[in-house]
Amino acid sequence: MSKANLIILLVCLSGVLIASSDFDHYFLLKTFRLDYFHTGNDQTEIYSFDEVFQEPVWAGSVTQLIDNSNLGKYLFQVFDEKSGMLLYSRGFCSIFGEWQTTDQAKKINRTFSESVRFPWPKKSVTVTISVRDSLNRFQEVWKIQLDPDEVNYRRGEQFSHVEITPLIENGDPQSTVDIVILPDGYTKKQMKDFHQDARRMLDVLFSTEPFKTNRKKFNVRTVDVPSNESGIDNPQKAIYRDNAIGCSFNAFGSDRYVLTWENKAMRKAASRVLYDHIYILVNASKYGGGGIFNLYSTCASDNPWSDYIFVHEFGHSFGGLADEYYSSDTAYNDFYPSGVEPWEPNITATADRDYVKWQDLIDQDIPVPTPWNKAEFDSVQSLYRKNRKRMENDHTPQVKIDSLIAANGKWVHDFLRSQAYWGKVGLFEGGGYSSQGIYRPFIDCRMFTRSRTGFDPVCSRAIERMIQFYSE
């Protein structure tokens, strides 16, 4: 290896130190948004360039440029084209990555619009995207060279006429977590309702630890993007709305799952403000929401469980947390393949104490795996799901279905707290949509049950690390 190549190798390995200290040398305080198309099926994927848009400001850290968290199904990296130096990287997940595990992906090809964002480079860069293989190792699947001086890139502000409202302001965007909340399904006359809903949801988020303790590390703003019609799509009921961001229930056939396929509409709206993370608040009373790591969260604003949904989904999109529940129906096939350790920090496929991600939080007197009365829990939940499905099929009034949900929630709350190892970090079987072979760290958590339960110690630590990453 030549001396020059050795220097480049050392620079890449220590990029977090070198690139972090030289932000002004490599970047401008503007945002480079690369839009691309992600096409494929359950076996293949193809990437193709769409366009580049220069967003007028950069809200991210100028010190934490290299992502060493090892979170996300995908990883994008930005290299200086001339030297090969790693300048920036982030792990993330995508709608395509989830769709690829559904039955539909076995039958057809499908294309999704996606974006990656990074500080505007002063010189030409190479951007790569890597995806985890069957052993969870990142493998490069796309590479593109980009010149920041290209005249065809779109520059300037969009939606300059919209109203922006700061809800929480705590200082420099480069040393805070910046959230933008977008409305979907709120008409122009309902913008006051949107602002009230957003403030209410923020009160819930920042009354929940560890967000409560770290409130001063966040900025939150809203952008008024009115929809032509009130509400969002609900395909199972043949309801379709002309809404601004394109959110819909029934994503991937899951009635409660709310996503939007309109990436460019969402990005256009968000580009009016400084943001690290996007939250879409949808004007709906039906239970629903969604959260994809480093992409966005959604939450139905007017449901009895909206406060739970809002915090839970942000746990996914911000903290990279996995669902710890396993008894609800999903559209996924082998979301966590057998024998492969999940990348998420709060579930594991190993029952060996020495290799558990959170082993330092497990007391020596706690047995691993940690026993709990799983059989009784599973039996009661199976009966509950059958009764709820029957009521839904019989078009039972929603108030009665909500009553059933509440009664089951109380039973779950009391049952889990009666277990011998309640309040202890351990290794409890059942998590990540799998009844067996996947373990969670706590009997109950905001990521396990539909309740106002807080985040368990492992999830809290993961969120704390993410807050620190964005604010230091």
Count other Cβ atoms within 10 Å, centred on residue 105. Answer: 20
- Measure the N-to-C terminal CA separation of the chain; round to a whole number of Å: 36
Query: For position 160, what pLDDT does the model report?
Result: 65
Instruction: Report the length, in residues, of the chain.
Output: 472
**Full strand arrangement of the beta sheet holding 86-92:** 86-92, 74-80, 125-132, 138-146
Query: For position 329, what pLDDT does the model report?
Result: 64
Angle between the N-to-C axes of helices 374-393 and 398-417, in degrees from 0 to 180, rounded to the nearest 10: 180
CA–CA separation, 250 and 259 (whole Å): 8
**Full strand arrangement of the beta sheet holding 110-121:** 110-121, 27-40, 45-55, 154-155
User: Which phi and psi (to 5°) does residue 23 adopt?
Assistant: -55, -50
Is the bond preceding residue 56 a cis peptide, omega within 30 degrees? no
CA–CA separation, 87 and 23 (whole Å): 9
pLDDT tens across the length of the chain (472 residues) = 333 333 233 333 333 333 445 899 999 999 999 999 999 999 999 999 999 999 988 999 999 999 999 999 999 999 999 999 999 999 999 999 999 999 999 999 999 999 999 999 999 999 999 999 988 899 999 999 999 999 889 886 655 678 999 999 998 998 999 999 999 999 999 999 999 999 999 999 999 999 999 999 999 999 999 999 999 999 988 999 999 999 999 999 988 999 999 999 999 999 989 999 999 999 999 999 999 999 999 999 999 899 999 999 999 999 999 999 998 666 566 678 778 899 999 999 999 999 999 999 999 999 999 999 999 999 999 999 999 889 988 989 978 988 998 899 899 999 999 999 999 999 999 999 999 999 999 999 999 998 889 999 999 999 999 999 999 8
Cα separation values, 154 from 33, 53, 77, 262, 311, Å: 10, 5, 22, 19, 35
Cα separation values, 160 from 149, 201, 223, Å: 24, 26, 11
Q: Is 143 helix (H, G, I), strand (E, B) or coil?
A: strand
CA–CA separation, 409 and 340 (whole Å): 32
Q: Specify the long-range contacts of residues 436-442, CB closer than 8 Å, at least 24 apart.
A: 437/338, 437/349, 438/326, 438/336, 438/342, 438/347, 438/348, 438/349, 439/347, 439/348, 439/349, 439/350, 439/351, 439/356, 439/369, 440/324, 440/346, 440/347, 441/346, 441/358, 441/361
Tell me what percent of the chain is helix, strand and coil, each rounded to the nearest 5: 30, 25, 45
Strands 138-146 and 110-121: unpaired
Cα separation values, 153 from 32, 50, 53, 55, 125, Å: 10, 11, 6, 11, 15
Note whether 321 and 294 are within 8 A (CB). no
Count other Cβ atoms within 10 Å, centred on residue 408. Answer: 19
| 156 Cβ contact list (under 8 Å, min separation 6) | 54, 56
Quick one: DSSP state of residue 277? E
CA–CA separation, 400 and 387 (whole Å): 11
Tell which residue, 317, 59, 273, 298, has the closest CA to residue 197.
298
Residue 195 identity:
H
Query: For position 398, what pLDDT does the model report?
Result: 79
Count other Cβ atoms within 10 Å, centred on residue 259. Answer: 25
Cα separation values, 281 from 220, 224, 227, 284, Å: 13, 11, 12, 9
pTM assigned to the model:
0.92
Quick one: DSSP state of residue 371? P
Q: Is 181 helix (H, G, I), strand (E, B) or coil?
A: strand
Structural domains of the chain, ranges and CATH numbers in brackets: 3-155 (2.60.40.3250), 164-320 (3.40.390.10), 353-464 (no CATH)
